[in-house]
A = this chain, B = another copy of it.
Amino acid sequence: MANRPTINDLMYLGVDGGGTKCRAILVDQENRVIGEGNGGPANPYHGVPRALESIVNATDNALRSAGLKPEDKSRVVAGLGLAGVNVPSLYTIVKQWDHPYYAQYLTTDLHIACIAAHNQIDGAVIVSGTGSCGFAHVGNDTLTLGAHGFPLGDVGSGAWMGLECIKAVLLDSDDLGPKTAMTELVAEQLQARGIMIVERLNGAKSSDYAKMAPLVFAAAEQGDEIALSIVHEGAGYLTDVARKLWQLNPPRMAMLGGVSQRIVDWMDKDIAAKMSEALNQPEFGAVQFARTQFETQSRIAVE
């Protein structure tokens, strides 16, 4: 292959793919960020073709922002950290697709987030964003908790809080459940009441439900009992997840995702106090993962 890039031409790409969007960064051999780009939803559980399209879009946008062309994907060593590939069949499909990169290394969004948060291989993370889950990697042990997706699991996530909110509001509107302050907040946000809420949410995705999470916090802070019970259930679950992850003795634990900064205040104090700051964004973990995997393979190839 005459045009095959040499090692010196290669760049590293890190992709963090979730249910709402995916984000890519491009770094050179000295680990300097030379480009970045976004794409649409990239959770293969919600559709493999759409996820792959989003990843390619994010890649092309990152290349473009670096002054490069789509064809330069052949010079890219890509690390993909995707939601949903904890499901074995989806892992296999994405691992085996006819990708446009020089090399592709696939792992979960949790794994790259954990590497990035701690700037090292060992650590633990709890995610509370659109979805929720826990992850720890210590020595040879890996533990994943939750990551079951919406609506099967994801307790303590934005989508779960939003769904519980709507369920309570609909019970209220039928006068078959307690009154809740969330009814007025939802009426304002969706411009809908009762059965019209069902209409508004026709075809709603987990990210649409997650938009209701701030209403639940707002009502809970006003002392609304139903909102408080939702927040307490979610925070209690995440506390249980954290306790289970600590049993592996990770050196650090961090909370990630758009809901984490608010829900951590409702978790058990001893657990909340032990959370560390996340050091880097997940896409940097994807780069680190790709580089480690690629260098290990190259070393093996030379040996």
Q: Which residues of A contact B (CB under 8 A)?
A: 45, 86-90, 144-149, 151-153, 163, 166-167, 170-171, 174-176, 195-199, 201-202, 237, 240-241, 244
The answer to whether A166 and B195 have CB atoms under 8 Å apart is no
A153 and B175 contacting across the interface, CB-CB below 8 Å? no
Q: Are A202 and B240 in contact (CB under 8 A)?
A: no
Query: What number of copies of this chain does the assembly contain?
Result: 2
Q: A240-B176, A241-B176, A244-B175 are in contact. Are A167 and B196 (CB under 8 A)?
A: no
In angstroms, Cα B149 to Cα A144, docked, is: 31
The 3 closest A-B pairs by CB, nearest first: A151-B151, A87-B199, A145-B174
- Residue of B146, B167, B198 near A174 (CB, 8 A) is B146
Whether A145 contacts B176 by the Cβ 8 Å rule is yes
A151 to B196, CA, bound (A): 16
Whether the pair B152, A198 counts as a contact (CB closer than 8 A) is yes
> Nearest Cβ in chain B — how far from A144, in angstroms?
8
CA distance A144 to B166 in the complex (A): 18
By the criterion CB–CB under 8 Å, are A152 and B201 in contact? yes
Question: CB distance B237 to A176 under 8 Å?
Answer: yes
Contact of A89 among B89, B145, B199 (CB under 8 A): B199
Shortest Cβ distance from residue A128 to the other chain B in the assembled complex, whole angstroms: 15
